[in-house]
Amino acid sequence: MSIGEVKVALRAAIEAAQRGEEVFDRASAEARAATAAADAILNDSRDEDVSAAHQALIAAGAEVEPTRRRFVNTAKHTARYLKQLG
Amino acid sequence: MSSSIGELVAQLLAVRGKLDAAAVTALRAQTDAEQALTHLTAVRKGSDDRLLRAAATDAEVARDKAGRYARLLAVAARHITAYVNTIAPGAASSEAGDATVPSGERLVEEAEARSRKAEAFLRRHVRKADDSEDTLKQTEQAVTTGLRELQKSLKGGGSSGSTASTSTNPGTPVDRPQLEHPATSVIMAAGAVVVGLRGVWNMVKKRRERKRFDDQP
């Protein structure tokens, strides 16, 4: 791999990571809206499926920030390396 | 609770639809992470810089976490469907009648199934190439030769195609050199984002060394 090829690959990696970050943000915004709606509709139900759905949504919610950070850091670390190459 | 069961069911079905849509979007993000990882892996063949290593780890975790996120949303959607059927039996067809709008969970499952298919394909061809001579070049050739077959079998998968959204690739030069393994783009186009090519590759090799092909590690 020539230095030029390396740079092209690194730029493509940065683009993919940034695109992933945007797409993931969209997914989490959609999910957040759906979760708020679900909470409003189902707040007084004790059904097993309702609590299972709540639990899955809570677990999903906990993944949002850590996942997002990984997309951001993929782009950040790659960009820093690209800069090092000059 | 809402005024009528009908109203409640309608609201819940709307929520389910949103969760499924969000799960599919998360799968697309997963594909992007996989793509970033593929590029980084190619570069890492020539350098083991600390930053590169960190970037590759980030991409890998982003891929896995986006997948987990999609799965959790799909699971929540499934439970909402089940609840709708508890309060109004038959109101939410879980799958059969809904062929036009695949559930997020089905898409997640399909992505995983396609991944397994691609994995089996790779395993077959890695083994084939290995019988003659163990060089990566030759293996790649064998994989390339069989790509059409794989592509055909994946196209028949009946997916809505929403998981295969790697085509939007703004800014990437058309004439870019062979940075990706030829199989990677097909695997990703198939939405098989669960197992990275590299992972498959290493796993296949490890398995072959152990002469055990039938059980998962």
DSSP codes joined into one string, A17-84: HHHHHHHHHHHHHHHHHHHHHHHHHHTT---HHHHHHHHHHHHHHHHHHHHHHHHHHHHHHHHHHHHH
Task: Tell me: pLDDT of A85 over 60.
Answer: yes
pLDDT given at position B157: 44
- The reply to whether residue B76 touches residue A57, judged by beta carbons under 8 angstroms, is yes
- The reply to whether residue A16 touches residue B39, judged by beta carbons under 8 angstroms, is yes
| pLDDT one-digit tens code per residue, B16-68 | 999 999 999 999 999 999 999 999 999 999 888 999 999 999 999 999 999 99
Tokens of B119: 């994995």
Residue of chain A minimizing CA distance to B30: A20
Confidence of residue B3 (pLDDT cuts 50, 70, 90): low
ipTM of the complex in this document: 0.96
- The reply to whether residue B62 touches residue A81, judged by beta carbons under 8 angstroms, is no
Task: Tell me: pLDDT of B186 over 60.
Answer: no
- The mean pLDDT value for B154-179 works out to 42
- Round to the nearest angstrom and report the end-to-end CA distance of chain B: 48
In chain B, the percentage of residues whose pLDDT exceeds 70 is 43
Please state the pTM of the whole predicted model. 0.64
pLDDT given at position A34: 96
Interface membership of A62 toward B (CB under 8 Å):
no
Residue of B73, B78, B176 best to disrupt the A interface, most CBs of A under 10 A: B73
- The mean pLDDT value for B143-164 works out to 48
Residues 32-51 of A with CB under 8 A from B: 33-34, 37-38, 41-42, 44-45, 47, 49-50
Chain A positions touching B80 (Cβ under 8 A) are: 38, 49, 53
| pLDDT one-digit tens code per residue, B89-133 | 878 765 544 444 556 677 777 666 655 565 565 555 545 444 443
In chain A, the percentage of residues whose pLDDT exceeds 70 is 100
| pLDDT one-digit tens code per residue, A1-56 | 899 999 999 999 999 999 999 999 999 999 999 999 999 998 878 899 999 999 99
d(CA B81, CA B75) in angstroms, rounded, equals 10
Q: Nearest Cβ partner of B1 from A44, A59, A66?
A: A44
